[in-house]
Amino acid sequence: MTDKAADGTRTIQVEALARVEGEGRFKVRVEGGKVVRSEFSIFEPPRYFEGLLRGRSFEDAPDVTSRICGICPIAYIMGASKAMEDALGWEIPQPIADLRRLIYCGEWIQSHVLHTHLLHAPDFLGLQDSMELAQSNRSLVENGLQAKKAGNRLMEVIGGRSVHPVNTRVGGFYRAPEQEAIHGLVPELEAAEAMSIAALDAFSGFDFPDLEVDYLFVALRHISDYPITEGRIVSSEGLDIGVADFPDHFEEHQVAHSNALQGATIDGRPYLVGPLARFNLNADRLPPDILALAERAGLAPGCRNPFKSLLARQVETIYAFREAARLAKAYQPPEPSFVEAPLRAGTGHGITEAPRGICYHRYEVAEDGAIVSATIVPPTSQNQRQIELDLIGTVERFHNLDDDDLQWRCEQTIRNYDPCISCATHFLKLDVERG
């Protein structure tokens, strides 16, 4: 909905944002070409997962938190598992860590492909949705569905099912998949990588809006690998800290217009997590030929155009297929498939790179393994303030567009983040006044 007053003031309001996961809306008020108000509101009800965990066994955390999101359950499973293992002092052997990275590749693939091919690509082609895209470019949609199927299949074989896998646990996996089952995935993964390269070439021909944003990028960085399951926290301004130091540098706060907390640095600055941040902070960790594909598509290290996050996601999809095939070829069932040790009281921290950015977990555990407290900071919460600022930049940059086109551009701006709104509504500050 758009309103234009006699004095030229314009209000652009989308009551329900489509083609994102969850429920959200935004409102922008423009006066004289300048934005005087911008609110990205997540109105999906809070779900209190952190409160639900208190008093439960440490073993429940991965399964409970995976229900935060049906698109990225592995992010929560792995973050919760790593935080619990940190609290309990459990050491995870490399074969189990490799199997975790393999199933996480499946999540990256299915999530990224869903967004790039079906949710975001229509924006760049002036289409309403993937159904219209299928009519104009059937092969692009069919290839995307085939690639997503490969990611789902990877999660099914390792996790038991693609949505909320049931084979994962603190310490590893209940059962290690058979070697033949994992090796049998390699041809499909390699074929899907080739399809994903063709899709990147197609996406490179999109007309990306001319917009550069001075982001503070934050992501994990691994000593040798492109970060997925582990690493140190780094930023584009030189931050380099351990996972346990996250609360000393980042925080969340409540805003009146949203049910989701907003992340910021400890001194109040917004920051960006997700594919564009990962790419800019870790491009040197990509295989040289994949980095060359990115640059050929118009995505080079230092890119600060939020609309080119589509390209970053597709580059990561290619990498995830390559990495999954490598891990699958080398796979041997870990024996045993999980580790465990005596319980102890402790506090643990875990961060992994969800498709949308770093997802932080902190748990305090009692001597008997009961959860005393839980804190979960999902990527959409961390990005929410930056989304609002991007809306301001987009409206001011494109305010001369007519109302419908400007509204479209604002929706496209939010979809640059592939926001998982359900993930973000995990807490609501409650003030009670009593007589």
Residues 255 and 404 in one domain: no
Instruction: Check residue 23 and give its pLDDT.
Output: 61
Average pLDDT of the residues in 210-232: 96
Least confident stretch, 28-42, 177-191, 251-265, 326-340: 28-42
Residues 7 and 117 in one domain: no
Least confident stretch, 3-17, 28-42, 86-100, 287-301: 3-17
Residues 338 and 402 in one domain: no
Residues 38 and 169 in one domain: no
Residues 7 and 91 in one domain: no
List phi, psi (to 5°) of 24: -155, 165
Instruction: Check residue 429 and give its pLDDT.
Output: 31
Residues 417 and 309 in one domain: no
CATH number of the domain where residue 130 is located: 1.10.645.10
Least confident stretch, 30-34, 235-239, 348-352: 30-34
Q: Which residue has the higher pLDDT, 162 or 25?
A: 162
Select from 383, 403, 420 the last residue of a domain: 383
267-281: per-residue pLDDT in tens?
Answer: 999 999 999 999 999
Q: Which residue has the higher pLDDT, 388 or 48?
A: 388
Residue by residue, what is the 3-state secondary structure of 302-331?
CCCCHHHHHHHHHHHHHHHHHHHHHHHHHC
Name the percent of the chain lying above pLDDT 70. 89
CB neighbour burial string for 29-43, b if at least 16 within 10 angstroms, e if fewer: bbeeeebeebbbbbb
The angle subtended at Cα 429 by Cα 428 and Cα 435, nearest 5°, is 130
Least confident stretch, 42-51, 154-163, 172-181, 313-322: 42-51
Residues 37 and 56 in one domain: no
Residues 21 and 9 in one domain: yes
Handedness of CA 157, 161, 166, 171 (dihedral sign): positive
Residue 10 binned pLDDT confidence (cut-offs 50, 70, 90): low
Residues 40 and 53 in one domain: no
Residues 334 and 423 in one domain: no
Select from 383, 402, 422 the last residue of a domain: 383
Total number of domains in the chain: 2
Q: What is the domain extent for residue 122? A: 49-383
Residues 85 and 128 in one domain: yes
Residues 268 and 413 in one domain: no
Q: How far apart are CA 146 and CA 275, in angstroms?
A: 22
